[in-house]
Structure 1
Amino acid sequence: MKLPFGLLAAALLLTGSASAQKLKAAQVPAAVVAGFNQKFPQAKEVKWEKEGSHYEAGFEQGKQEMSALLSAAGTLVETETEIQVSQLPAGVQATLARQYKGVKIKEAAKIVAAGTGTVTYEAEIEQGGKEVDLLFDAEGREVKK
């Protein structure tokens, strides 16, 4: 079974976040920093992490909290933009209400794969005392990690 690249990248990002390694800007390869600065010249308060073979920059752009995942060559893999829970598509909200009834959604984000433009949505919930990230397509179908 083939997964669209964007869904696979999002899943890898989320599964890798448990083992993310924080980095100082000086530890990030020059190609990665250059690729990031080219795509996000207005970024403020950039914080870096190593995610497997990729680098993740968490930052503010305008009034939005964002992150960008880049390859070691500095190529943009995907972007993640924090959104209000109310901005999740109706299908996602319906699935959450049906399958995770009574669970509070702590955060939401829109993830866009750079190569394909594939959009997925992330909902962070607390379940059993742990934070759990759930991924959905725009219709509300859960994407397995």
Structure 2
Amino acid sequence: MKQQLIVAILSAGLLTSCDDDVIPEKVPLEVRQNLLATFPLAFDIAWEKSGQDYEADFTVHAAEHSALFQQSGKLAQYKRAIPASELPEAVAHSIARNYPNYQLEEAEAFVKDHITSYQVILKSKSTEVEVVYSADGQQLRQPYWD
């Protein structure tokens, strides 16, 4: 009986955690059209509501992408997973200098207002940090976009 109660509670938690997911038909047409106009090779698209905006997670050429669209359909920002080799040299040097005991776990190119920055997840034996860099290797204060 106790196990059934635990399973029921965990299941309810999973159901409520997915409340922001949106079926494509509920996403405004302008948003869906702009996604496909901006990323014509996008596939495996999943939508969720983010405040008043819509976030799409999708794949292009085997790279994971996320894009945030306003209700009007305007693209607000997007990011794509990149290999470490695509990080600008200045970013790689800054990581090596400031986080010498960390390994690069994940890297993403982040674009907002036509400016590209780079989000990285760095791991040490006991710590994980999320850091954002400008293309010239400066660590930025802007929040890491999950």
When the two structures are superposed, what TM-score results if normalisation uses the length of structure 1?
0.72
Provide the alpha-carbon RMSD of the alignment: 2.3
Residue 139 (structure 1) aligns with = 136
* Aligned positions, number: 124
Structure 2 residue ranges without an equivalent (≥5): 1-18
Highest RCO, 1 vs 2 (Cα 8 Å, sep ≥ 6): 1
State the Cα deviation string for residues 33-63 of structure 1 (Å, max 9, x = none): 1221222232110112223332221111223
Q: Does 1:28 align with 2:27?
A: yes
CA spacing shift, 1:130–1:71, aligned 2, 3 Å = farther
State the Cα deviation string for residues 86-110 of structure 1 (Å, max 9, x = none): 2211111111112222112111111
Counting aligned pairs with the same residue, the percent is: 29
State the Cα deviation string for residues 1-43 of structure 1 (Å, max 9, x = none): xxxxxxxxxxxxxxxxxxx933332332333212212222321
Structure 1 residue ranges without an equivalent (≥5): 1-19
Structure 1 residue matching 2:80: 3-state secondary structure: strand
When the two structures are superposed, what TM-score results if normalisation uses the length of structure 2?
0.72
Q: Does 1:41 align with 2:40?
A: yes
Structure 2 residue matching 1:139: 3-state secondary structure: coil
Residue 96 (structure 1) aligns with = 95
- Larger-Rg structure: 2
**TM superposition shift of 1:74:** 0.8
